[in-house]
Structure 1
Amino acid sequence: MFRRREPVPFAFIAEADTFRSNVAPPPRPRASVGEVVGRWLMGLTVVAGLVGALLVGGPALSTDTSPAHTQQSDVSQGR
């Protein structure tokens, strides 16, 4: 199949950056008090969950290198 080669005027592409429309989009509806409170509560819940995960999981991630915490049984001490 043959491709038709037609001249394409590229002037409209250069003018597209400077074109400004006089039609404004409709304004966004304002959020109600309940929606704002719900968003705040959702955000606080997510933050509290992350902080709680760090508090609970922090001790498990720490590396304990002190020799005082090594466990020895009575059998290994010869008793």
Structure 2
Amino acid sequence: MFRRREPVPFDSLAEADRFRSNVTPPPPERSSLREMAGRWLPGLTIVAALVGSLVVGMPALSLEHSPRTQQSQASQGR
């Protein structure tokens, strides 16, 4: 069958999708140590804050209330 080609309003965009260049882009520059540290530091800070809050908060979350039992024993001894 014969296919009739009609004009498309954005024909240049359709051609741009099909176009392949034979020029390779330059390789990306390697990140410096300072840039890599700048990317990792905020994440490590957040992780350290979460771990620190868990370490500090674990005694409050435990079911053992040893300081209270010592106080009640001291008050019974009087």
Q: What band does the TM-score fall into relative to the shorter chain?
A: 0.3 to 0.5
**Which structure carries more helix by proportion?**
2
Q: Provide TM-score, normalisation by structure 1.
A: 0.44
Q: Provide TM-score, normalisation by structure 2.
A: 0.45
